[in-house]
Amino acid sequence: MIPRSQNFRGYLGGWFSAETDLTLYIEACERVPAWLAEDNRGLTEFRDELATHIRESSLPPRHNDSQWGTDEWLRDIWFDAFGPEPAPGDPYPVPAVQWGRVRLTDYMLHAVDEDEEGSSDGATAWLAARGLTAQGVYDAISGDTVRRPEPDGYAEHLRRLTEAGLREQLP
Amino acid sequence: MSGSSGQSVLRQAVEGLLRARADAERGLDDVTAWVTRAALRPSETARAGRHPLARRAADDAAMPAGAMPGALAALSAATRTAIATEVHALLSLLAVDHHQLPPLPPLDARPLAGPGDRAFLSAFSEGFARSYVATVLGDLSSGRPTSKADAAAHPGAQQATIDAARDRIVAAVEPEHRALVRAWLSHPDCHAVEIHGPQVGDRDLELRAGWTRPPDHGAEGADSWRVRDDGKVVSKHQVMVDAGAFTSADAFVRPLEAFMTVARRHPDGIEGFLRDHSVDGVAPFFINAQLGRLAPGDAVAHRGAGTGTPQAARDWVRMRRDAMKKDHECIAPVRTIPYDPIADGPDPGVRLVFKRGEDGWVMVTYYPSDSPAPDNQRLEDIT
């Protein structure tokens, strides 16, 4: 999918911009279930387009990052916002067991603590919806990480997507 | 689990080794007696690391220390190579799953024969490894840590000082905007003055970046933050790798005036402008330094050392969380660097976010930054 929509830019640079304002990001992640329940159309369009960008590697790389690193960032946002099921059609889904154990997201690093006093008010519900515990995530902060390398054949995968007109050729 | 090979420990070992290398490079130009000490020091630093690889590096680096003075060049190359080899091994672990084969392209030892950061860097393969080492190496000399005790002992903010800063800011605004700006900056959900105002000191910023201590700690409405008796820093204050503030009321106001000049041209005024440039009740803007008339010296900030790539920044945040744990389970404090986001940033300006609340638009954040975040709306694109 190229280029991204105004609606997508609005959510990515606003509600879901952890880099701009973590408080807003955490609130957004916690409000997603309510937004979906009230059939928030902008949000469902953002979700669908996020899935498309993950599937087609079509979001241009972030500053100082690769296409793969950017794809992985979008997968983290997907998990934080929409939960443990991989985005539909994700060609490289993250093994479910990695989340919150060897793979930590912005929500986990900033909204989850072993004590309630240091956690976001919505953390309990957020963790429960993902089958995680506060203690487990807190312990994982000091533990190992799996940072997935570019998969074999990824460059070729990108080339095919580019040829199909789904993404732009990187300079 | 405070494991022997956690991510933050690995990252810390990388920093320790690179610092040791810098020490060794400096020392090796000096007298022979110094050489022995310089080569031993990296080994001591590495030995302090909790990871077995770091300890192995210690032995490798200590070995050449007994060499004769005539073998200076060989000694320095051997020290560099020993350190580079272990940094590379640690990076492999930082890069990927521990259980896979070494995925990073191998180290190129040839450039390590000569001194200098550039040669050292070129030994690492392009991409993840080289950018990671570059961002950590680039910040080595200027980063410094603060202790938990320093953070706990730092005096709290006075409400009167914050209120006085807000008054000075409002007074610097064009008269027709004063009531609106005062309302924005006084809203309980707006902490722009409290956290980014000119009354915020350098030390406040350093402790915000290093320990997530809010600069308005102690004043009414500040996010809760404390150092508990067991040494754990318990914080509800959110901050990424950067903490910045404007240095004067005048500097605070200039980008805001630029924003209002553009926004009020809308047929329905500022309200209409925010409505048309928001998605789901959030409007994120970036006002570049030129448009906002910000010059070097108008803002000051502290940022995490070695956070120049998204992956390195993520590891640094994790290191900070690890350092904030209880006394017996935490690692050493993170390092931060003072900088001028306007003078040093690649695309400097101000990030400004409005959020629609029940009582209208709230300015939820407003702060100087070295660059826009992805998909922040650039004010110049809207004008």
What tens digit of pLDDT does each residue of B30-47 get?
Answer: 544 555 555 555 556 655
Contact assignment for A109 to B318 by CB distance below 8 Å: yes
**H or E element in which residue B299 lies:** strand B299-304
Task: Test A139 with B321 for CB contact under 8 angstroms.
Answer: no
B279 at the A interface (CB within 8 A)? Answer: yes
Q: Which amino acid is at B252?
A: F
Q: What confidence score (pLDDT) does residue B94 get?
A: 78
Within chain A, strands assigned E span none
Rounded distance between C-alpha atoms, residue B23 and residue B341, angstroms: 28
Of B171, B183, B362, nearest to B252 by C-alpha is B171
Kindly state the helix (H) or strand (E) to which residue B362 belongs, with its residue range: strand B360-369
Q: Provide the H-helix boundaries in chain A.
A: 6-13, 22-37, 41-56, 67-82, 106-111, 123-129, 134-140, 154-163
Tell whether omega for the bond before A3 is within 30 degrees of 0, i.e. cis.
yes
Domain extents for chain A? 6-149
Verify whether the Cβ–Cβ distance B280 to A43 is below 8 Å: yes
Tell me the per-residue pLDDT of B355-379, one tens digit each, with 9 for 90 and over.
Answer: 999 989 999 999 999 999 999 999 9
Mean pLDDT across the stretch B85-96? Answer: 81
Degrees to nearest 5, angle at CA B10 with B109 and B39: 50
Q: How far is B218 from chain A (nearest CA, A)?
A: 17
B280 at A interface, C-beta within 8 A: yes
Which residues, other chains included, contact B8 with Cβ-Cβ below 8 Å and sequence gap of 6+? Answer: A141, A142, B315, B318, B319, B321, B322, B323, B331
CB contact under 8 A, B236 and A18: no
- Closest CB to A17: pick one of B96, B314, B373: B373
Confirm or reject contact between A95 and chain B (CB < 8 A): no
Other C-beta atoms lying within 10 Å of the C-beta of residue A170: 11
Q: For residue A144, give the H/E element and its range.
A: none
Residues B296, B340: contact at Cβ < 8 Å? yes
Question: What is residue B139's predicted lDDT score, i.e. its pLDDT?
Answer: 87
Q: Is the Cβ pair A142, B279 closer than 8 Å? A: no
Give B301's strand partners: B244, B339
A74 CA: distance to closest CA in chain B (Å): 12
Q: Kindly indicate the confidence band of residue B3, based on its pLDDT and cuts at 50, 70 and 90.
A: very low
Interface test with B, best of A106, A137, A144 (most B CBs within 10 A): A144
CB pair distance less than 8 Å for A62 and B311:
no
Q: Comparing A99 with B13, which gets the higher pLDDT?
A: A99
Element (H, E) at B335: strand B335-339
Q: What is the pLDDT of residues B250-259, one digit of tens each?
A: 999 999 999 9
Whether residue B301 has pLDDT greater than 70: yes
Q: Which residues, 6+ apart, have CB-to-CB distance to A115 below 8 Å?
A: B232, B234
Please say if the pLDDT value at position B100 is more than 60.
Answer: no
CA distance A73 to chain B (A): 9
Give the closest of A17, A69, A142 to B2, CB-based.
Answer: A142
Question: Among partner residues A10, A62, A142, which is closest to B8 by beta-carbon distance?
Answer: A142
Whether B63 shows a pLDDT value over 70: the answer reads no
Q: ipTM score of the complex?
A: 0.96
Nearest residue of chain A to residue B314 (CA atoms) = A106
DSSP one-letter code for B333: P
Nearest CA in chain A to B192: A21
CA pseudo-torsion sign B136, B137, B138, B142: positive
Instruction: Using pLDDT thresholds of 50, 70 and 90, give the confidence band for residue B9.
Output: confident
Q: Which residues of A touch B377 (CB under 8 A)?
A: 9, 13
How far does Cα A78 stand from its chain's mean position?
Answer: 3
DSSP B69: G
Whether the per-residue pLDDT at B114 is higher than 90: the answer is no
**B chain contacts of residue A12, beta-carbon cutoff 8 Å:** 374-375
**CB contacts, 8 Å: B318 with chain A:** 104, 109, 141
Which residues of chain B from 325 to 364 reach within 8 Å of chain A, CB to CB? 325, 329, 331, 346, 351, 353, 355, 364
What band does B4 get if pLDDT is binned at 50, 70 and 90? very low
What distance in Å separates the CA atoms of residue B257 and residue B142, rounded to the nearest whole number? 35
Q: What is the pLDDT along chain A (171 residues), one digit of tens a residue?
A: 778 999 999 999 999 999 999 999 999 999 999 999 999 999 999 999 999 999 999 999 998 899 999 999 999 999 999 999 999 999 999 999 999 999 999 999 999 999 999 999 999 999 999 999 999 999 999 888 778 888 889 999 999 999 999 999 877
B314 interfacial to chain A (CB closer than 8 Å): yes
Neighboring chain B residues of A40 at a CB cutoff of 8 Å: 280
What residues form DSSP beta bridges with B71?
none
Residues A143, B355: C-beta atoms closer than 8 Å: no
Q: Which pLDDT does position B1 carry in this prediction? A: 35
Taking the Cβ of residue A40 and every Cβ of chain B, the question of whether any pair is shorter than 8 Å is answered with yes
> How high does pLDDT run on average in chain B?
87
Question: Per-residue confidence at B383, pLDDT binned at 50, 70, 90?
Answer: confident
Residue of A13, A43, A118 lying closest to B235 (CB–CB): A118
Q: How near does any CA of chain A get to the CA of B30, in Å?
A: 37
Nearest to A141 among B100, B321, B377 (CB): B321
CB contacts < 8 A, A to B, total 142
Q: Which amino acid is at B148?
A: K
Whether the per-residue pLDDT at B136 is higher than 60: the answer is: yes
- Find residues 105-124 of chain A whose CB sits inside 8 Å of chain B: 109-110, 113, 115, 117-118, 120
Amino acid at residue number B121: L
Residue with structure tokens 């939820």? B364
Residue B96, min C-alpha distance to chain A (Å): 4
Q: Which chain B residues contact residue A10 at CB under 8 A?
A: 278-280, 282, 375
Q: A107-136: per-residue pLDDT in tens?
A: 999 999 999 999 999 999 999 999 999 999
User: Please, what sign has the CA dihedral across residues B124, B129, B135, B137?
Assistant: negative
